[in-house]
Amino acid sequence: MSHFLAPQIVLLKNGTDTSQGKGQLISNMNACQAVGEILRTTLGPHGMDKLIHEGRQVTISNDGATILKLLNIVHPAAKTLVDISRSQDDEVGDGTTSVTILACEFMRNSKEFVEEGMHPRVIIKGYRAAADLALARIKELAVDITGNSESERRGMLIKCASTALNSKLISHHKGFFSEMVTDAVLSLDDDLDLAMVGVKKASGGAVNDSLLVEGVAFKKTFSYAGFEQQPKKFLNPKILLLNVELELKAEKENAEVRVKSTKEYQDIVDAEWKIIYDKLDKIVQTGAKIVLSRLAIGDLATQYFADRDIFCAGRVPQEDMNRVSRAVGGAVQSSVVNIPADALGACGLFEEKSFGNERFNLFKECSHAKTASIIIRGGSEQFMEETERSLHDSIMIVRRAIKYPSAVAGGGAIEMELSRYLRDQAKQIQGKQQLVMNAFAKSLEVIPRVLCDNAGFDSTDVLYKLRARHAEGDAGRWFGVDITTGGVCDTWEKFVWEPALVRLNAIAAATEATCLILSIDETITNPKYEAAAPGAPGMPGGMMGM
């Protein structure tokens, strides 16, 4: 009787790593939680900062999106946390740490179900149902902050900006910066384009020396001899924006010109000078008093303009050139021939001012498009960079609050209210879905818990007090963590506000990330190209049989 061996079929490349089943799912969750533990201590007003050292670059930050971007995470499942923090940063601007911590807590509380054999699809269905209820409840609870007057509206926006700065390095100066950020955003046009708010840094001075310029401000560019002879202040000047090089260029190394006499050589030299002088004459004839170019303006042109009381700046960065163009109403020209009058821009006041060791060119009273610039002062480069990141979050929050004027209380109040609400809803659901919804409700409590832990308070005691207050119904709806005393307080009365959009986006993104991780049952890692395996020439990991 003959015995046959079952054929062995290999479909994947040699060295391909495949991991599947319950163990792989739990491994992915553990990887995400490891990332969450890094960010956990950065949440809240008393959160700690992280110092990330990469080569010569040192970054000190507690912004979730910044930290995750700099960590260079390589685990394929944990990269989803980087994606959701980035989406939160792009969409809302704040809550990047919260969204990551929420996602990790959702995974932590679903891991027990996976270990006990519950199918991931059951958990996903329960989480999505709970998220839908939570989002609907936030919309129901959100308070309209439009305000009855302009001053009342501004005051409400300042409170939102101040809450966004609570957990930042500059939280001690939140009153100063929240007003500055609110005024900057309110000074923009109705489209609230973020590109029209410029943030510049000038080292030296105290942080309170930072200032808001209602207009465009950019650092003085590289300049040649003759620059100091140019006027540094104009009233109602015409502004010409160019993408033209205004300097004598050396011939290329492989250029060859054959001349038979010194006169012919002099003619070539004179032709070069005539070309640049023609360009400069055409610029002067436009009547422009300020000439900006994205390309270099050489020493000849600088002195030529100085003799005619014209200010010029070459090598202006693209971002600054775009802001000046939109603000003053001028169009960037790529040629100086036949420049139309309507291509020139104008502003009410131009001046050059010094801040610390830096000199800035300021364009004020721009009527074509509204813009604002914030000049940050500080002692160290790392401090000013973190201040810039903090102001970006606050600016985004104020923009969102203007576009979607509804807010909820911060300090963990909205999470505790959602947790109580979902627990009540879960009692009306039968089967395993009730367990999953309770796990979702429990996960939301991680925000007030971490706020307490990072401040050194007894989180268990505070959570018991919060549950008791929220069980009272509407009277305790806005009770959250009192970060000053270590107890509980009405955070709405304390003006700890944040746009409802922050929480809506955070819960939706965290739920989707958790459901994505739960839906993965196998990870396949393909190796780089390798030589063919012995016994299978030309077929790396090909089909083998016996």
Residue 102 is assigned to a structural domain of this protein: yes
Q: Are residues 368 and 236 in the same domain?
A: yes
The rounded percent of the chain whose pLDDT value lies above 70 is 91
Is residue 348, in this structure, part of any structural domain at all? yes
| CB-based contact 325:241 (threshold 8 Å) | yes
CB of 258 closer than 8 Å to CB of 309: no
Residue 319 has pLDDT above 70, yes or no: yes
Q: What's the confidence (pLDDT) of residue 466?
A: 92
410 close to 43: Cβ distance less than 8 angstroms: no
Give first-to-last CA distance, the chain, whole Å: 18
Q: Are residues 248 and 387 in the same domain?
A: yes
**For residues 542 and 62, which has the higher predicted lDDT (pLDDT)?**
62
Residue ranges making up the domain that contains 353: 214-252+263-403
pLDDT above 90 covers a percentage of the chain that reads: 28
Single residue among 375, 403, 431 that ends a domain in this structure: 403
- Given a cut of 60, whether residue 304 has pLDDT beyond it is yes
- Range of weakest confidence among 20-24, 160-164, 320-324, 351-355: 20-24
Note the pLDDT tens digit of each residue in 188-201.
Answer: 888 888 888 889 98
pLDDT tens, 266-286?
877 778 788 888 989 999 999
Quote the pLDDT of residue 382. Answer: 85
Say whether both 504 and 391 belong to one domain: no
DSSP strands (E only) in 299-449: 311-313, 345-346, 349-355, 358-364, 372-378, 406-409
Whether residue 4 is contained in a domain is answered as no
Report d(CA 135, CA 128) in Å as an integer: 10
Residues 90, 239 within the same domain:
no
Pair 384, 430 in one domain: no
pLDDT above 90 for 532: no
For residue range 469-488, list pLDDT tens digits in order. Answer: 999 888 888 999 998 888 89
Strands (E), 110-242: 143-144, 197-203, 211-213, 215-219, 233-235, 238-242
Q: So what's the pLDDT on residue 177?
A: 92
Pairing of strands 290-293, 311-313: parallel
Amino acid at 308: R
Does residue 399 sit in the same domain as residue 417?
no
Over 70: is that where the pLDDT of 543 sits?
no
pLDDT (0 to 100) of residue 60: 86
Q: pLDDT digits over 115-149, tens only?
A: 888 898 999 999 999 999 999 999 999 988 887 78
* CATH number, domain containing residue 319: 3.50.7.10
| Alpha carbons within 13 A on the beta-carbon side of 97 | 27
Position 2 pLDDT exceeds 70: no
- Judge if 504 and 390 occupy the same domain: no
* Residue 328, Cβ density class (10 Å: 0-12 exposed, 13-18 middle, ≥19 buried): buried
- The pLDDT value recorded for residue 19 is 56
> At residue 349, does pLDDT exceed 50?
yes
Q: What is the pLDDT of residue 94?
A: 82
Domain-located, residue 21: yes
Q: Return the biggest CA–CA distance within the chain.
A: 109
End-of-domain residue from the set 349, 370, 403:
403
CB 499 within 8 A of CB 400: yes
pLDDT at 4 over 70: no
Integer Cα distance of 30 and 119 in angstroms: 18
**pLDDT score of 96:** 87
203-247, pLDDT tens digit by residue?
Answer: 888 888 888 988 899 888 888 888 888 888 999 999 999 998 888
Same domain, 97 and 54: yes
CA distance 205 to 465: 45
Kindly provide the residue ranges of all beta strands, DSSP E only, lying in 294-337, ordered along the sequence. 311-313
Q: Is the pLDDT of residue 9 over 80?
A: no
**CATH code, 61:** 1.10.560.10
The reply to whether 230 and 373 lie within a common domain is yes
Domain edge (last residue) among 403, 435, 458: 403
Q: Is residue 190 part of a domain?
A: no
How many domains is the chain built from?
2
Mean pLDDT, the chain, rounded, equals: 85
Query: Does some domain include residue 151?
Result: no
What's the pTM? 0.77
Q: What single-letter DSSP state applies at residue 148?
A: S
225 and 269 co-located in one domain = yes
In this structure, the strands spanning 290-293 and 238-242 are: parallel
Judge whether residue 514 has pLDDT over 90. Answer: yes
Q: Is residue 203 part of a domain?
A: no
- Burial state string for 21-35 with b = 16 or more CB within 10 A and e = fewer than 16: eeebbeebbebbbeb
Confirm whether 2 is domain-assigned: no
Tell me, what's the pLDDT at 542? 42
pLDDT confidence of 504, banded at 50, 70, 90?
very high
Is 276 found in the same domain as 243?
Answer: yes
Do 345 and 371 lie in one domain? The reply is yes
